[in-house]
Structure 1
Amino acid sequence: MNLPVTAAHPWVVSPALARGIQTELAREVIREDRLGPVHRVAGVDIGFEAGGRTTRAAVAVLDFPALTLRERLLLKRPTRFPYIPGLLSFREVPALLEALTGLRHAPDLILCDGQGLAHPRRFGLACHLGVLSGIPTIGVAKSRLIGNYQEPGPERGDWSPLHDGDEVIGAVLRTRSRTRPLFVSIGHCVSLATAIDYVLACAPRYRLPETTRAAHRLASEKETPQIG
């Protein structure tokens, strides 16, 4: 699979330079729908081995809307950036980009286990992966990084806006009745309303989308269906 990757930037940099790169690239995020027909959706996740020294980048591609597994790929690479809150993409995106290039079936949309626009510099992992890969992305996080919100209603599909000051940076979405909500935000080339619709469509039974569940199993378990 060939990716129209935006001009590369250094990955092993100081935290200050990494924040500057985020601020610059945040200007390239497209916050409206620029996606075509969606026939395949992907989930991405990262696991670690050897005390964090090895990164396991997992991608699972599912047919949409059936959500049947089409392909999964696991790639292992040395971990080159420390864990720093707000800079997770510098630790995870390089391996994810490489894993995406190894796919036989290109996804039309990626649901990321992390933040998108709901980030201090409006450039979380989902934005970073989307801008560099050119693939539409959505951030689907299990917890809040920034922002304030009112608790959404108790039923599946209920949601409330996530605010940072006067700006709406995401949605707090109930994907399963009477369970904890997820934090959904724009990644790239997808509006917030469309992002909510796709997250619900990809989570018909459980709190987490099937894309996230499939990628997480691959990233965390000792499975090696295809390794680069």
Structure 2
Amino acid sequence: MRVLLAEDDALLASRLQTLLEEAGYVVIHTAEGRDAEYQGQIEDIAAAVVDLGLPGLDGLSVIERWRQAGRDFPVLVLTARARWHDKLAGFDAGADDYLTKPFQPEELLLRLRALIRRSAGHAHPRLQCGPLVLDVNAGRFELDGAPLALSAQEHRILSYFMHHPDTVLSRSRLGENVYEDGFDPDSNTLDVLIGRIRRKLGSELIHTHRGQGFRLSATP
């Protein structure tokens, strides 16, 4: 799942990028406002984390331009401005949530997960597909009530499936949303990983649609 991080403080951006990647997200980082606007226009992202004090184009203008263009992914604003009218300006521009610096990075992660969950139509922090359960806040899978051990890439793939149940996902869409360094459509890596996940699930939860992609569903 891809997240855009628009933050010009190099130290903070590095910490947040590490935190998000460890939580299973693929992070697109930019430190400049005009590039942030561009990335938000062209990339398939689940959410954006935007600092209001970006150089080149401020965060409020970036968000406004996204919304004017019909980009409706959730946006979490970061700012050192704690006054209510500044927060109101952020919400008016189209932001969905607000964090005032300094903040605990773990709080950002929890709020981001909640925004993504709600935007996908999942109000509850536990997603379920048959015997498979994902605790979104904890980032843990259970199968038939027991913890499910997954590699980092397997976790990303299965998390993306859980957020898009009963949907046929193409290989390119899966690859773009789970690989940090780009996706080679001619590689069989994705097929190998999905094969491993299938064996760990021990049930027919992931269905192949020849020529189209894969679908996670508790029903055939």
**TM-score of the two chains, using structure 2 as the length reference:** 0.25
Q: Which of the two has greater helix per residue?
A: 2
Q: Which of the two has greater strand per residue?
A: 1
**TM-score of the two chains, using structure 1 as the length reference:** 0.25
State the structure with more CA Rg. 2
| Higher RCO, 1 vs 2 (CA within 8 Å, ≥6 residues apart) | 1
